[in-house]
Protein backbone atom coordinates (compact mmCIF):
# COMPACT_ATOMS: atom_id res chain seq x y z
CA UNK A 1 0.00 0.00 0.00
CA UNK A 2 1.16 3.50 -0.82
CA UNK A 3 2.58 5.57 2.06
CA UNK A 4 0.71 8.86 2.12
CA UNK A 5 1.89 12.06 3.75
CA UNK A 6 -1.59 12.78 5.09
CA UNK A 7 -4.44 10.60 6.36
CA UNK A 8 -6.94 10.26 3.51
CA UNK A 9 -10.42 11.52 4.37
CA UNK A 10 -13.35 9.69 2.83
CA UNK A 11 -16.80 11.03 2.02
CA UNK A 12 -19.61 8.53 1.46
CA UNK A 13 -22.61 9.54 -0.65
CA UNK A 14 -25.70 7.44 -1.35
CA UNK A 15 -26.80 8.38 -4.89
CA UNK A 16 -29.86 6.07 -4.95
CA UNK A 17 -28.77 2.92 -3.17
CA UNK A 18 -31.24 0.40 -1.73
CA UNK A 19 -29.06 0.79 1.44
CA UNK A 20 -27.59 -2.71 1.02
CA UNK A 21 -24.23 -1.30 -0.05
CA UNK A 22 -24.42 1.47 2.55
CA UNK A 23 -24.70 -1.05 5.37
CA UNK A 24 -21.56 -2.77 4.04
CA UNK A 25 -19.73 0.57 3.87
CA UNK A 26 -20.67 1.22 7.50
CA UNK A 27 -19.47 -2.27 8.38
CA UNK A 28 -16.03 -1.27 7.08
CA UNK A 29 -15.81 1.27 9.91
CA UNK A 30 -16.66 -1.23 12.66
CA UNK A 31 -13.89 -2.88 14.75
CA UNK A 32 -14.37 -6.09 12.72
CA UNK A 33 -13.12 -4.61 9.43
CA UNK A 34 -11.66 -1.37 10.82
CA UNK A 35 -10.87 0.69 7.72
CA UNK A 36 -9.40 3.33 10.06
CA UNK A 37 -6.31 1.17 10.47
CA UNK A 38 -5.25 2.60 7.09
CA UNK A 39 -5.52 6.09 8.57
CA UNK A 40 -8.80 6.71 6.74
CA UNK A 41 -11.25 9.10 8.37
CA UNK A 42 -14.91 9.21 7.42
CA UNK A 43 -15.94 12.83 6.92
CA UNK A 44 -19.12 14.63 5.90
CA UNK A 45 -17.23 17.63 4.54
CA UNK A 46 -16.38 17.59 0.81
CA UNK A 47 -13.89 20.43 1.27
CA UNK A 48 -11.78 18.12 3.47
CA UNK A 49 -12.28 14.88 1.52
CA UNK A 50 -9.78 13.06 -0.70
CA UNK A 51 -11.89 10.02 -1.56
CA UNK A 52 -15.51 10.13 -2.76
CA UNK A 53 -17.20 6.79 -2.23
CA UNK A 54 -20.57 6.53 -4.00
CA UNK A 55 -23.22 3.83 -3.64
CA UNK A 56 -26.23 3.43 -5.93
CA UNK A 57 -26.76 4.55 -9.49
CA UNK A 58 -27.11 8.21 -10.36
CA UNK A 59 -30.71 9.35 -10.75
CA UNK A 60 -32.41 12.59 -11.71
CA UNK A 61 -32.27 13.89 -8.13
CA UNK A 62 -28.76 12.85 -7.18
CA UNK A 63 -26.98 13.87 -10.38
CA UNK A 64 -26.55 17.52 -9.38
CA UNK A 65 -25.47 16.55 -5.85
CA UNK A 66 -22.83 14.10 -7.09
CA UNK A 67 -21.43 16.77 -9.41
CA UNK A 68 -21.48 19.40 -6.68
CA UNK A 69 -19.73 17.21 -4.09
CA UNK A 70 -17.09 16.27 -6.65
CA UNK A 71 -16.47 19.88 -7.63
CA UNK A 72 -16.19 20.94 -3.95
CA UNK A 73 -13.48 18.38 -3.20
CA UNK A 74 -9.94 19.71 -3.51
CA UNK A 75 -7.62 18.31 -6.16
CA UNK A 76 -6.22 15.74 -6.34
CA UNK A 77 -9.07 13.36 -5.47
CA UNK A 78 -10.31 9.89 -6.28
CA UNK A 79 -13.75 8.36 -6.76
CA UNK A 80 -14.77 4.82 -5.81
CA UNK A 81 -18.04 3.36 -7.15
CA UNK A 82 -19.29 0.75 -4.67
CA UNK A 83 -21.77 -1.91 -5.78
CA UNK A 84 -22.98 -2.84 -9.23
CA UNK A 85 -25.58 -0.04 -9.15
CA UNK A 86 -22.85 2.59 -8.74
CA UNK A 87 -20.70 0.84 -11.37
CA UNK A 88 -23.34 0.52 -14.10
CA UNK A 89 -26.82 1.29 -12.79
CA UNK A 90 -27.26 -2.41 -11.98
CA UNK A 91 -30.75 -3.82 -11.75
CA UNK A 92 -32.17 -0.29 -11.84
CA UNK A 93 -30.39 0.60 -15.09
CA UNK A 94 -33.55 0.57 -17.20
CA UNK A 95 -35.63 2.59 -14.73
CA UNK A 96 -36.99 5.84 -16.15
CA UNK A 97 -35.22 8.00 -13.56
CA UNK A 98 -31.81 6.28 -13.55
CA UNK A 99 -29.05 7.92 -15.54
CA UNK A 100 -26.61 5.05 -15.03
CA UNK A 101 -23.44 4.43 -13.08
CA UNK A 102 -21.48 7.16 -11.34
CA UNK A 103 -19.16 7.50 -14.34
CA UNK A 104 -22.02 8.95 -16.38
CA UNK A 105 -21.58 12.22 -14.44
CA UNK A 106 -18.07 12.26 -12.88
CA UNK A 107 -14.85 10.30 -13.54
CA UNK A 108 -14.51 7.09 -11.51
CA UNK A 109 -11.11 5.70 -10.50
CA UNK A 110 -12.06 2.37 -8.91
CA UNK A 111 -15.06 0.09 -9.48
CA UNK A 112 -16.11 -2.32 -6.71
CA UNK A 113 -18.73 -4.72 -8.10
CA UNK A 114 -21.09 -6.87 -6.05
CA UNK A 115 -24.66 -6.74 -4.83
CA UNK A 116 -24.14 -5.86 -2.16
CA UNK A 117 -20.39 -5.20 -2.33
CA UNK A 118 -18.70 -7.04 0.54
CA UNK A 119 -16.65 -5.10 3.13
CA UNK A 120 -13.46 -6.90 2.07
CA UNK A 121 -14.03 -5.81 -1.55
CA UNK A 122 -14.81 -2.23 -0.47
CA UNK A 123 -11.61 -2.03 1.58
CA UNK A 124 -9.65 -3.51 -1.33
CA UNK A 125 -11.15 -0.86 -3.61
CA UNK A 126 -10.29 1.94 -1.19
CA UNK A 127 -6.69 0.69 -0.86
CA UNK A 128 -6.43 0.67 -4.69
CA UNK A 129 -7.82 4.22 -4.65
CA UNK A 130 -5.10 5.26 -2.18
CA UNK A 131 -2.43 4.10 -4.62
CA UNK A 132 -4.11 6.12 -7.40
CA UNK A 133 -4.40 9.12 -5.05
CA UNK A 134 -0.71 8.90 -4.24
CA UNK A 135 0.18 8.95 -7.95
CA UNK A 136 -2.24 11.81 -8.61
CA UNK A 137 -0.66 13.82 -5.77
CA UNK A 138 2.79 13.38 -7.27
CA UNK A 139 1.52 14.25 -10.78
CA UNK A 140 -0.41 17.21 -9.38
CA UNK A 141 2.63 18.56 -7.52
CA UNK A 142 4.60 18.28 -10.76
CA UNK A 143 1.81 20.00 -12.72
CA UNK A 144 1.62 22.85 -10.18
CA UNK A 145 5.31 23.48 -10.63
CA UNK A 146 4.76 23.85 -14.36
CA UNK A 147 1.55 25.89 -13.88
CA UNK A 148 -0.76 23.27 -15.40
CA UNK A 149 -2.47 21.96 -12.27
CA UNK A 150 -6.03 22.50 -13.50
CA UNK A 151 -5.48 20.54 -16.69
CA UNK A 152 -3.81 17.74 -14.69
CA UNK A 153 -7.04 17.11 -12.78
CA UNK A 154 -9.57 17.80 -15.49
CA UNK A 155 -10.12 21.42 -14.45
CA UNK A 156 -11.74 22.22 -17.77
CA UNK A 157 -14.13 19.27 -17.73
CA UNK A 158 -17.89 19.92 -17.40
CA UNK A 159 -18.11 18.33 -13.91
CA UNK A 160 -15.75 21.03 -12.61
CA UNK A 161 -17.83 23.93 -13.91
Binding site for ligand SF4 (CB under 6 A): 17-18, 20-21, 55-56, 83-85, 90-91, 115-116
Q: Which is nearer to ligand SF4, 56 or 125 (CB)?
A: 56
Q: Which is nearer to ligand SF4, 91 or 95 (CB)?
A: 91
What is the nearest approach in angstroms of ligand SF4 to the Cβ of residue 137? 30
Which SS3 state, helix, strand or coil, does residue 59 take? strand
What is the nearest approach in angstroms of ligand SF4 to the Cβ of residue 83? 3
Q: Which is nearer to ligand SF4, 90 or 119 (CB)?
A: 90
What's the rounded Cα separation, in Å, for the pair 1 and 137? 15
Q: Which is nearer to ligand SF4, 14 or 109 (CB)?
A: 14
**Cis peptide preceding 148, ω within 30 of 0:** no
What is the nearest approach in angstroms of ligand SF4 to the Cβ of residue 33? 17
Print burial letters for 17-35: b (CB count within 10 Å at least 16), e (below 16): bbeebbebbebbbeeebeb
What is the nearest approach in angstroms of ligand SF4 to the Cβ of residue 53? 12
What's the rounded Cα separation, in Å, for the pair 83 and 160? 25
Q: Looking at beta carbons, which residue is closest to ligand SF4?
A: 20
Residue 137: CB atoms within 10 A of its CB come to: 18
Amino acid sequence: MAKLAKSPWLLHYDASSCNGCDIEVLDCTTPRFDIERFGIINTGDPFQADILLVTGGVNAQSEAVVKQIYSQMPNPKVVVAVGICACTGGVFKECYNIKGGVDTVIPVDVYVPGCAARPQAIIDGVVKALEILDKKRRDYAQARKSGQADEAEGGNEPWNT
